[in-house]
């Protein structure tokens, strides 16, 4: 398998008997997902989505992306949540593979942030992807208005048709109307895939292809995970092992916080994507594990104290990359004043691995159970595999909690209040 899951540091918190009791329940959930039974059956397009993406469709995306990138010096992608985080996570992790500098907007309402982005782009030839199923989500809708005005100062309406790409609903919604009215290129967001599960659809694939990321490899990795995790057997399915373990820690041991800890800053936005996936899927009906992240060893010098000796309502999942993209050898110093000639000639990653071993052991001994997910290497194939791993895991984890992991009714509460404060009317009909 392309990833491994080590659960040794769960001993004393989860027993084999606990796990055995859970297996029939997970098997039942597996069958329900495969048969698409229950109230959640519609938003399951992601489940077999990778295998249903044809190579010819990927080539179509790559062809369009190549045409767009050819006359562009930068990409601006507008979106929020599932229409933003998966894209940025991939580009941050696979930066060496991307060829077009990428900027982000529409994920906040900060004037200063948008001003800086546009200042950086004012001398560049840019392409813009705007991603929204409805076209009425506040942040991307308002920022798209500003960006269109910014572009109109430099390009004719005909030129804009080559520079603006809308990724939206196939038939309805404000962004679909905008695309058709102005003749912008467009790609369709599948109707049966929710936003936080959409990175392996045109939502993620189109901007990533424009940026120069290997989307063929990304999809092939997800296809491999889909194939391997179609097996309902607990022993053969690390996604189910992860889901079941975190459920037991929450349900049996009252561990209400999960911290995803990595030792590579390039995984930061992967952690942000993971937070949305799990928080929006599980946080409802008064239930759910609170997802948080740490970037180590940096955060050991701030939050490390809390993790070691704070409230024992937390568990930890380490996310590691086995093979770094680069090696840096540590040199020897004649006087050895800092005492670190002990690692003379070693690679810096060797020290990072020892730091992980020390942290995992110390936290475990301090009452923090932990698991470790290991990714072979940071490339498109393994990232696609990891995306699917977490999507499958959160589906099972949410269903174990007895909630629907595919809706997000609570997200609408603040929106309704904000729209009233803004005096926002309903969107105009076509």
Separation of alpha carbons 271 and 91, rounded Å: 13
What pLDDT is stored for residue 95 in this prediction? 81
Q: 3.40.50.10490, 3.30.200.20, 1.20.810.10, 3.40.640.10: which CATH number matches 3-37+222-408?
A: 3.40.50.10490
Looking at the chain, which residues constitute the CATH 3.40.50.10490 domain(s)? 3-37+222-408, 49-213
Contact between 79 and 132 under an 8 Å Cβ cutoff? The reply is yes
Active site residue ranges: 280, 301, 415
Q: Tell me how long the chain is.
A: 430
Q: How far is CA 351 from CA 32, 153, 297, 328, 346, in A?
A: 45, 52, 11, 11, 8
For 68-218, list the strands marked E by DSSP. 74-78, 102-105, 126-131, 164-168, 185-188
CATH hierarchy code of domain 49-213 = 3.40.50.10490
What is the value of pTM for the model shown? Answer: 0.96
Please report, in tens digits, the pLDDT of each residue of the chain (430 residues total): 689 999 999 999 999 999 999 999 999 999 999 988 766 667 899 999 999 999 999 999 999 999 999 999 999 999 999 999 999 999 999 986 668 999 999 999 999 999 999 999 999 999 999 999 999 999 999 999 999 999 999 999 999 999 999 999 999 999 999 999 999 999 999 999 999 999 999 999 999 999 999 999 999 999 999 999 998 888 889 999 999 999 999 999 999 999 999 999 999 999 999 999 999 999 999 999 999 999 999 999 999 999 999 999 999 999 999 999 899 999 999 999 999 999 999 999 999 999 999 999 999 999 999 999 999 999 999 999 999 999 999 999 999 999 999 999 888 888 889 889 889 876 554 4
What pLDDT is stored for residue 197 in this prediction? 97
Please tell me the number of Cα atoms within 13 Å of 298 on its side-chain side: 10
């Amino acid at each position: 398998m392309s990833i491994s899951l080590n659960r040794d540091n769960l001993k004393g918190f989860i027993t084999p008997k606990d796990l055995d009791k859970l297996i029939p329940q997970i098997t039942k959930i597996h069958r329900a997902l495969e048969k698409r039974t229950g109230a959640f059956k519609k938003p399951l397009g992601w489940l077999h989505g990778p295998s249903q993406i044809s190579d010819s469709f990927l080539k179509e995306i790559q062809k369009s992306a190549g045409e767009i990138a050819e006359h562009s010096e930068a990409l601006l992608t507008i979106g929020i949540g599932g229409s933003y985080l998966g894209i940025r996570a991939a580009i941050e992790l696979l930066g060496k593979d991307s060829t077009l500098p990428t900027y982000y907007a529409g994920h906040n309402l900060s004037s200063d942030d948008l001003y800086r982005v546009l200042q950086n782009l004012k001398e560049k030839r840019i392409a813009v992807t705007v991603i929204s199923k409805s076209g009425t989500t506040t942040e991307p809708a308002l920022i798209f208005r500003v960006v269109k005005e910014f572009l109109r100062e430099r390009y004719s309406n005909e030129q804009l048709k080559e520079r603006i790409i809308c990724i939206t609903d196939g038939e309805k919604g404000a962004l679909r109307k905008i695309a058709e009215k102005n003749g912008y290129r467009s790609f369709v967001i599948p109707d049966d895939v929710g936003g936080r599960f959409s990175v392996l659809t045109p939502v993620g694939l189109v901007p990533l292809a424009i940026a120069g990321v290997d989307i063929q490899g990304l999809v092939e990795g997800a296809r491999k995970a889909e194939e391997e995790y179609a097996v309902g057997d607990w022993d053969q399915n690390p996604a189910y092992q992860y889901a079941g373990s975190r459920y037991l820690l929450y349900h049996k041991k009252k561990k209400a916080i999960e911290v995803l800890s990595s030792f590579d800053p390039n995984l930061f936005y992967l952690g942000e994507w993971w937070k949305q996936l799990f928080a929006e899927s599980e946080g409802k009906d008064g239930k759910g594990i609170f997802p948080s992240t740490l970037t180590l060893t940096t955060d050991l010098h701030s939050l490390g104290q809390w993790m070691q000796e704070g409230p024992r309502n937390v568990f930890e999942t380490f996310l590691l990359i086995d093979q770094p993209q680069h090696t840096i050898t540590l040199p020897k110093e004649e006087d050895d004043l800092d005492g670190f000639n002990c690692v003379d000639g070693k690679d810096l990653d060797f020290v990072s691995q020892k730091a992980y071993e020390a942290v995992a052991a110390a936290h475990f001994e301090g009452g923090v159970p932990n698991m470790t997910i290991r990714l072979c290497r940071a490339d498109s194939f393994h990232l696609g595999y990891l995306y699917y791993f977490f999507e499958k895991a959160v589906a099972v984890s949410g269903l174990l909690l007895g909630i629907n992991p595919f809706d997000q009714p609570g997200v609408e509460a603040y929106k309704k209040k904000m729209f009233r404060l803004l005096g926002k009317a309903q969107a105009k009909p076509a």
